[in-house]
Chain A
Amino acid sequence: MTVAVPLSLIEAFDELARTPDARLIQGGTDLMVEINFNHVKPVDVIALRRIKELRTWQVNSNNTITIGSGVPYQEMEVGQLKELLPALAEAARTVGSPQIRAAGTLGGNLGTCSPAGDGLPVLFALDAIVHLQSLKSSRDLSIHEFMLGVKRNARHTNEIITGVTVPVLDGWQGYAKVGVRNAMVISVASACLAVDKKNNSVRIALGAVGPTIIRCRDAESWLVQQLDLTSATSIDTTIAQEFGRRVALESKPIDDHRSTAEYRRHAVGVLAQRLITRAYTS
């Protein structure tokens, strides 16, 4: 096995051109596990971790934020990123242990595209744009077009995920994740809710309850009819409950060794109800 350690994107594309079947590694918190389990045996690996361009983030003039695919989760838990993207900060805190959060990145979540990826519901709720770049071109894809299924995405093999751009919204946003222990646990079910007051919309995205992250469009549009999202300061319990019920209906969970479909469906309903209640509790 060869491991290339490019120091810039240009060098990385050179490596990728030379070894087109290479596996890309960022923090390694997914790939190294697969290698250790002997599930994959990559011949060539390109380590993106030393590429400084991927480890930066910036607030753009159009009130959006672009986060490099190599920014570790621990940076999202604090500071300006936390202030502007609180749901992402909360999601980042649920990722593994401090050691894993120092290594793991959104690039890895996107590259792996597991429905249990902790950062993905946030990107779905915020309608993130995924930036893909190859030697000769670059393209931007909506997260909804990027994630295709369980561990499947629209990245071409000659592309590198360079980052994501998400809007800074005016409105409450939050994230909640159910696991069977109180930290360092794979998601049994998760949800991200974001209120966009400017557009009078609410977005809710569910993790680990379907083959992809699920945006609950029906529940979202139902809620907009019940509540003026811009001016409301509180929410009726019955509306919150019904919102939860509708969200649960849109989930597509399965039974596995981590939980049951029935519990997962129940859990996302409870999470949705609680998140919308938090959004409208001063």
Chain B
Amino acid sequence: MSTVKQDTRLRDILGTSALRPDGVAKVMGSFSFSSDMWAENMLWGATLRSPHPYARIISIDTTAALLISGVSAVITAQDVPGKATYGLISADQPVFASEFVRYMGEPVAAIAADHPETCRRALAAIIVNYEVLAPVVDPELAMLATTEQIHPDGNLIRHQKIICGDPQISGDITVEGHYTIGMQDQAFLGLEAAMAFPDSGGKGVELHIATQWLHEDRGQIAACLKLPEDNVRLVLGGVGGAFGAREDISLQVHCCLLALHTGRPIKMQYSREESFFGHVHRHPAKIWMKHHATKEGKIVKVESRMVFDGGAYTSTSPAVLINGITHTQGPYQCDNAVVDGYAVRTNNPPCGAMRGFGVVQACFAHESQMDKLAQACGLSPVEVRLINAMHTGDKLITGQAMESVAPVERCIRETDAIPMPEPLAANANVLEFPGGSGRTADRQNIVRGIGWGVSMKNLMYSEGFDDYATARCTLSNGIASLKFATSEVGQGFVTLAPQIARSVLGVDDVVFETSDTQIGSAGSTSASRQTWMSGGAVDGACRLVRERLFEHVGELHNIDPIRLMIEHTDVIDTIGTFRISVTEATQGITLSETFEHHHRKTEDLDANGQGNCHVAFAFVAHRAVVDVDIELGLVKVVQIATAQDVGRVLNPLSAIGQIEGGIAQGLGLAVMEEIIMDNGRVKNPSFTDYLLPTALDAPSVVAIMIEEPEPQAPLGAKGIGEPPCISVTPAIVAAIRAATGKALSRVPVRPQDICL
């Protein structure tokens, strides 16, 4: 018999910097990513992709490929038994192109063979006869009715306007600008990979996959395979980052189809180059924005026109567009607005979800505008933002009331109070200069600049979507076992979920069951939503189990369960002396409960863009200090100071990780990360030429987390994943403007934009 442990301190509860359970394995290289999967008797799958941005397929001849020894299957559009298309919002993307290819890299066929090299040869042996067409690549032209419609659904994916207050009103002062945002890639490190196992008899399939949302994938896959959803089981493979790029289908359907065709397990994995063609990117956008203000700098009205290039297929473009236009005002009070937004289809690569989801684009424009407004009114960047800062209860331009805690002023003031970095020392290490290891700059070539960015970001899905999350908690013999379909993509839910269970149940040992589709949906790991949504589900399930535990203990020991509570690792009687460890209390019994967490309902926007379309919001301020080599146009971001509205810090180490990582990603968009297009062709599909920030590019980050618990949130905590990457980009660009005097209306800022 175990003895009663008294006053054992619980480790790794909420609020502590509990370590990732998979951290050591990832650092040591022993973590199994989905590309590490292997099976007896498996075949390799590979994809044939279009070399053209736009072409008519005249014919596909697979005869020669099928004759190659080692090739087991070659499949094309005609081999898709169910729905020929898929898509997150609109099923407009073919599993395989049949009549037209609409972007460079679009899948045309897939093969299964005994070795990757056989796959390569077989792909080369498939003869596709194309009639090459002139691609439509300019969204402004594409949206015109007179332009060739490149898809049966037309070129205009969505148009939405917002009209709020008095559209005719004007202010003493107006400032306006045209802004351009380049195409950023999520550039996760763990490439797309999956393994599909066919059921014997071919009536079902099990797919192990690195994804952001198992259940959404399953629905789309099952429809294309023409199988009942129950016969398609998805299991989460090890995911090496996502950032939005794993929301859409990539190789899922192809892999399952090949498995069902061959009756053998199929392994598929993309190379880095293929990955650039295999997933969606951040929407490039062109934004015109005009602010009307009083001469004191108070915003009277905002006007904007936003055009998002959605590429060849819809993906999440309609939702990205809504996020963009509904965040036109930024974290500022604004009573009047006229906004016109377009998401447009072109023959560029499909664009969809990426960290910040439409708000990144809007924020670059509104923050650039705020600096123009400051200048026009003779205010500092901080003053103009404080004058206009939004508060809880303010009405948004959609008519929705800001119900979230909105500590915008605090974010700005606390960021402003962070000490500036030391001036660049005369004997500073040249590696810290702009140009870094290239030793291009001398001390006298460097000018320092300071810039600001503040942002607002919606959390969870919008426009009436019920993106609920499900979790099950099972408590037995002092061990809590958690089951959920939540995708761990690096964000740290595998750290947080046990923290919640420990805090609620007073247990030390928490184990996970497999994350798969054998439980209800958890929704997507996106929109900064899993801590709130899946966290709420785990919390709810654990609380239900705790109630059952109290009932059980109460009955056994004749105590009213209402008197019981958890103290550290024990169940105690709050008005008596009874005490029993949770371990002892759960010997030989199993308590199991499932809980679904739903956020409050939202609604669609009406024709004038009015409606309570968002669930909640989070805020952040960024101040960037940059050193610029003005003559060469090279930049070193020295320091990012930030104060972020987080609600409540559940794991300080995880939180700072999100903040530093998001800042690096926003820095990338500010000064280097861009997929370069030339008439529909991607010019830099590699990490040699798609540049991600390195350690020498990363700034020092000084972060303050503002804790004002959010009443709507189950744990009081807001999502923290997206805000760090949003306003840091305009802050950096503003700092470069301050150093150089250049207008800089485009990101990424290129060296020639500064010095020529």
Contacts and interface: CB of A to CB of B under 8 A. Distances in A.
Contacts of B120: 38
Contact of B672 (A178, A181, A263, A267): A181
Contacts of A176: 435, 438-440
A176 B636 CA distance: 16
A202 to B, nearest CB: 18
B688 interface: yes
Contact of B435 (A33, A178, A186, A259): A178
Contacts, number: 96
Contacts of B636: 182
B271 A266 contact: no
A260 B752 contact: yes
Contacts of B141: none
Contact of A183 (B437, B442, B678, B756): B437
Interface string A247-273: 000000000011110110011001100
A196 B388 CA distance: 63
Q: Which 6 A-B pairs have the closest CB atoms?
A: A182-B436, A257-B683, A177-B438, A182-B696, A183-B696, A263-B752
A182 B439 contact: no
A39 B661 CA distance: 34
B694 interface: yes
A179 B694 CA distance: 12
Interface string B612-650: 000000000000000000011110100000000000000
B691 A266 contact: no
A175 interface: yes
Nearest to A187: B438
Contacts of A217: none
A271 B696 CA distance: 21
A263 B437 contact: no
A251 B271 CA distance: 36
Interface in B419-462: 431, 434-442, 445
Instruction: Give the bracket for the number of chain A residues in contact with chain B.
Output: 35 or more
Interface residues of B, number: 38
A270 B632 contact: yes
Nearest to A179: B438
B695 interface: yes
B689 interface: yes
A175 B435 CA distance: 12
B751 A181 contact: no
A180 interface: yes
B476 to A, nearest CB: 47
A263 B697 contact: no
Contacts of B688: 33, 186
Contacts of A177: 437-440
Main secondary structure of the interface of A (DSSP, over half): mixed
B511 interface: no
Nearest to B445: A274
A10 interface: no
A271 B672 CA distance: 21
A260 B755 CA distance: 13
Contacts of A174: 439
Nearest to A183: B696
Nearest to B437: A183
B694 A182 contact: yes
Contact of B440 (A183, A186, A271): A271
A263 B440 contact: no
26 contacts: A33-B688, A36-B271, A175-B439, A176-B435, A176-B440, A177-B437, A178-B438, A179-B435, A181-B693, A181-B694, A182-B436, A182-B634, A183-B436, A183-B697, A185-B691, A186-B689, A257-B678, A257-B689, A259-B752, A262-B756, A263-B752, A266-B752, A270-B440, A274-B440, A277-B442, A278-B442
A260 B753 CA distance: 11
Given A259-B751, A262-B752, A180 B691 contact: yes
Contacts of A93: 437, 439
Contacts of A184: 694
Given A183-B697, A190-B438, 18 more contacts: A93-B437, A174-B439, A176-B438, A176-B439, A177-B438, A177-B439, A178-B634, A180-B671, A181-B436, A181-B693, A181-B694, A182-B636, A182-B694, A183-B695, A260-B752, A266-B755, A271-B440, A278-B442
B288 to A, nearest CB: 26
B676 interface: yes
Given A178-B435, A274-B442, A183 B683 contact: no
Contacts of B445: 274
Contacts of A183: 431, 436-437, 694-697
Interface centre among A36, A90, A190, A266 (most CB of B within 10 A): A266
Interface centre among A37, A38, A90, A182 (most CB of B within 10 A): A182
